[in-house]
């Protein structure tokens, strides 16, 4: 997993819960990196799982809810870092339906070894979208948070239903209806 995901996560934890919480979740985890991350480095996903679990344990907030909030924060990082990418789109349905064939292509140019989930567009219309998310990491709530912020970015709203196709969350269907 790319280091930017870790550095931004720890920055969010510090902003929301304080530096002591960052120290606590790092010291309570068994991290190969020792909890030292650079944005361009690559780290084992198990470290993110440990940090999320420790934060969940310490705050009483579910991992899914933590991922949702983190995704909303991460969207602003993407917006600030790659404004031209968002300006390519005029509509949230169009942007979300382009994740696999445009956005992830651009991400791989910057981070060639990034391990990204796949998003298969099953059905698309002007106001609705059905997408299948697949990832061994089961971070579907991170995807949901990014989708929520995408609609917000375009001053729009949507009803997004998440349906687990595999119980472990590695395959999820998103049913998106623009309001």
Chain segment 67-122, per-residue pLDDT in tens: 999 999 999 998 998 888 888 999 999 999 999 998 888 888 878 888 899 999 99
How many CB atoms are located within 10 Å of the residue 141 CB? 21
> Phi and psi at residue 89, in whole multiples of 5°?
-110, 150
The β-bridge relationship of strands 171-178 and 118-124 is unpaired
Give the per-residue pLDDT at 71.
Answer: 95
Q: Where are the domains positioned within the chain?
A: 3-61, 66-178
Q: What's the pTM? A: 0.91
Give the fold, CATH level 3, of 66-178: H-NOX domain (3.90.1520)
Query: Does position 44 have pLDDT exceeding 90, yes or no?
Result: yes
Give the per-residue pLDDT at 108.
Answer: 84
User: How many angstroms separate the CA atoms of 124 and 96, rounded?
Assistant: 10
Q: What's the token pair of residue 77?
A: 């990082």
The conformational region for residue 12 under phi > 0 = left, psi -120 to 50 = alpha, else beta, is: alpha
pLDDT, tens only, 106-164: 888 878 888 899 999 999 999 999 999 999 999 999 999 999 999 999 999 999 999 99
> Phi and psi at residue 138, in whole multiples of 5°?
50, 45
């Amino acid at each position: 997993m790319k280091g930017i995901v870790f550095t931004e996560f720890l920055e969010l934890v510090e902003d929301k819960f304080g530096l002591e919480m960052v120290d606590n979740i790092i010291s309570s985890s068994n991290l190969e990196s020792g909890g030292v991350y650079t944005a361009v480095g690559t780290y084992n996903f198990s470290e993110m799982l440990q940090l999320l679990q420790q934060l969940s344990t310490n705050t009483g907030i579910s991992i899914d809810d933590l991922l949702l909030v983190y995704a909303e924060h991460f969207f602003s990082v993407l917006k600030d870092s790659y404004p031209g990418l968002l300006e390519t789109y005029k509509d949230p349905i169009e942007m979300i339906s382009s994740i696999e064939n445009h956005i992830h292509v651009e991400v791989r140019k910057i981070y060639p070894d990034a391990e990204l989930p796949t998003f298969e567009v099953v059905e698309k219309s002007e106001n609705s979208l059905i997408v299948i998310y697949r990832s061994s990491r089961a971070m579907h709530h991170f995807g949901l948070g990014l989708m929520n912020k995408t609609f917000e970015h375009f001053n729009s709203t949507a009803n997004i239903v998440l349906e687990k196709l595999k119980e472990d969350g590695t395959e999820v269907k998103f049913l998106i209806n623009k309001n």
